Structure 1
Amino acid sequence: MSGNIPVGISACLLGENVRFDGGHKRLAFAVDELAPWVRFEPVCPEMAIGLPTPRPALRLIKVDDGEIALRFSNHTEGDLTQEMQQFSARRIPGLAHLCGYIVCAKSPSCGMERVRVYEPVGNNNRKNGTGIFTAELKRQMPWLPVEEDGRLQDPPIRENFVERIYTLFELNNLYKKGLTRGGLIGFHSRYKLLLLAHSQPQYRELGRFVADIENWESLDDFFIEYRLRLMLLLEHQATRRNHTNVLMHVQGYFRRQLSSRQRQELSELIDRYRLGTQPLLAPVTLLKHYMAEYPDQYLAQQRYFEPYPEALRLRYGN
């Protein structure tokens, strides 16, 4: 596992004093836990368009024609919408190498969802906006894993995000080395069990898409479409039910090698995971033990068993 995975991040989340009040919103998970495994590339869109710190707070405002404007919350004259849009449109193409992005929640420039959008007069607002920079980021790069600091406090969301950035990193490296049909099919094969844990219907749909690879004249075009479909599939959080199905499927590979007692022990452990009394790590660890004892080439290559560094401890409580 590489520690060189490029991940974009709102600069304030790394502890940089770039916020409107001159402070920061240091995200401990990013700085203390994820940083050893990735290479953060910080951006503060508000500083990038020339605003100082400290500065008056900004807000999104719904203007008369229904468009969203970026203005100062203290009613200071000036509309920053065009400047922010132009900066975003210019800066984001240079971020195509990224494998993920962590944005600052509630920010009118960086917020991912539920950003307050105010009426032109007064303080009436609805939490239904997206920061201007992040909206453009998601528009230009719909395959990119994007999460915000608040949501990353939730363990399943945190695991899902890290899993996606590692998946995209491997896929991007495959592209850099030179696309081949065999390489793409091999990549998809390595991720089959992981995809199955996220969505069985979309897993089957994506499998049919990959099976049709020979009918694509351009591998670059196939890659672009496959990347989008793959990453949209992985946005669906893996469920306990789907994980249980995967575990039972893997259990079948050892039907002949295990004794009756071992089969019963494994079945009971999987069932305890299904009932929520054991973390996912417990049956996965036992299966990895049997994989070492009774090697199987297909299982050995499956990313399901180690989609990211074990040291991140993301499966301990799931």
Structure 2
Amino acid sequence: MKIKVGISSCLLGNEVRFDGGHKHSRLCTDSLSRYFEFVPECPEVASGMSIPRKPIRLIGEVQAPKVVAVHDNSVDYTDQLKTYSEHKAQQLDELCGYVFMQKSPSCGVFRVKVYQEGGYPAAEPGRGVYAKAVMEAKPLLPVEESGRLEDAVLRESFITRVYAYHNWQQLKKQGLSYQGILEFHASYKYCLMARTPTHYVELGRLLADAGKHDIDDLAEHYFSLLMENLSVLATRKTHTNVLMHLQGYLKKVLSAKEKLELGNLIEQYRTNQVPLIVPITLLKHHFNNHPDPYIEKQAYLQPYPDDLSLRNAI
């Protein structure tokens, strides 16, 4: 089953841009589409703008800008785009992530220019009207811009969060229980430790008193903290910490030669000589030969399909 992920329509090659063109992302259509069912949206066209059309930009207050035509600020699209965006943002419950077009006055997430009097952009970057509405309506939904997905670390982070979000939604569909939340947390132990180990401890403390909380309140609080944690970028240092923890589960079953080989690969990863996939592959090989019921449940060893090759470049 493919995971539903929203996407700016132009990134799929649809000719919906102001000039009648597109911004086709091969990464999305050739790679990610194998596992994601992309749900396209062009809020500018959907809110009533034509193809082609005059380009638009944001002006005024950074937090509440107006949307106007670039060459004629009296042509104001603010109300129609904002109204459509806020309405559409309430209809995205099936999505587990969103890929937006960067720099767009409707879809940009980071560094969107908001122009001031005199024609200069504000020092503080803005956010596209539609992207802002989606992020306010779905604050835990993993979002990223297409250009940033070309960065291997950001791409791995985004897809890890999409799969975690999807797995949580599946758990909710099955029916929440205290035991189910505890097992979910246990499965994400090392994914969390690879981001910020202190947050893993905080989540553990929350769940230690799980039975004292209303199940829905507990789930909401837990998942909010989980997604906040997973939004932190993992580093070689934090990944190395996790790899060494996993290595500890094998100390009684590996030969001295095997321990040395594994330890050397982890050190080579730490010092940037090999990518993460190298020690991960050897760890998975050893755990296949020496199964451990706790490790078998860990999402860290396979947080997403292997053939996405995300760990080959980090």
- The answer to whether the aligner puts 1:226 opposite 2:227 as a matched pair is no
- The answer to whether the aligner puts 1:149 opposite 2:151 as a matched pair is no
State the partner residue of 1:89.
86
Compute the RMSD of aligned alpha carbons: 1.4
| 1:77 shift after superposition | 2.7
- The answer to whether the aligner puts 1:118 opposite 2:153 as a matched pair is no
Deviations 1:231-250 (A, max 9, x none): 11101011111110111111
Contact persistence 2:63–2:126 (CA under 8 A): no
Looking at structure 2, the residues matched to 269 and 310 of structure 1 have their Cα atoms a distance apart, in angstroms, of: 19
| 1:122 shift after superposition | 2.9
- The answer to whether the aligner puts 1:193 opposite 2:186 as a matched pair is no
Looking at structure 2, the residues matched to 183 and 132 of structure 1 have their Cα atoms a distance apart, in angstroms, of: 37
Figure out how many residues of one structure are paired with residues of the other and give that number.
314
Contact persistence 1:115–1:127 (CA under 8 A): no
Which of 9, 12, 15 matches 2:13? Answer: 15
Looking at structure 2, the residues matched to 174 and 120 of structure 1 have their Cα atoms a distance apart, in angstroms, of: 50
1:270–1:66 Cα change, 3 Å: closer
| 1:221 shift after superposition | 2.2
- Matched to 2:256, the amino acid is S
Unaligned 5+ runs, structure 1: none
**Structure-to-structure mapping, 1:175-214, within 5 angstroms:** 175-214=172-211
Q: TM-score, normalised by structure 1?
A: 0.95
- The answer to whether the aligner puts 1:271 opposite 2:267 as a matched pair is yes
- The answer to whether the aligner puts 1:54 opposite 2:52 as a matched pair is yes
1:114–1:263 Cα change, 3 Å: same
Contact persistence 1:20–1:56 (CA under 8 A): yes
Deviations 1:106-152 (A, max 9, x none): 00010001001101343455461100111111111110100001111
- Matched to 1:292, the amino acid is N
| 1:308 shift after superposition | 0.4
Looking at structure 2, the residues matched to 101 and 249 of structure 1 have their Cα atoms a distance apart, in angstroms, of: 33
Percent identity, please.
42
**Structure-to-structure mapping, 1:286-301, within 5 angstroms:** 286-301=282-297
SS in 1 for 2:75: coil
- The answer to whether the aligner puts 1:36 opposite 2:44 as a matched pair is no
State the partner residue of 1:75.
72
Which of 166, 169, 174 matches 1:169? Answer: 166
| 1:84 shift after superposition | 1.6
Unaligned 5+ runs, structure 2: none
Looking at structure 2, the residues matched to 159 and 252 of structure 1 have their Cα atoms a distance apart, in angstroms, of: 25
- Matched to 1:9, the amino acid is I
State the partner residue of 1:253.
249
- The answer to whether the aligner puts 1:312 opposite 2:308 as a matched pair is yes
- Matched to 1:272, the amino acid is Q
Looking at structure 1, the residues matched to 53 and 244 of structure 2 have their Cα atoms a distance apart, in angstroms, of: 56
Looking at structure 2, the residues matched to 122 and 188 of structure 1 have their Cα atoms a distance apart, in angstroms, of: 50
Which of 224, 242, 258 matches 1:262? Answer: 258
Looking at structure 2, the residues matched to 273 and 204 of structure 1 have their Cα atoms a distance apart, in angstroms, of: 26
- Matched to 2:132, the amino acid is A
SS in 2 for 1:31: helix
- Matched to 1:164, the amino acid is R
Q: TM-score, normalised by structure 2?
A: 0.97
| 1:212 shift after superposition | 2.3
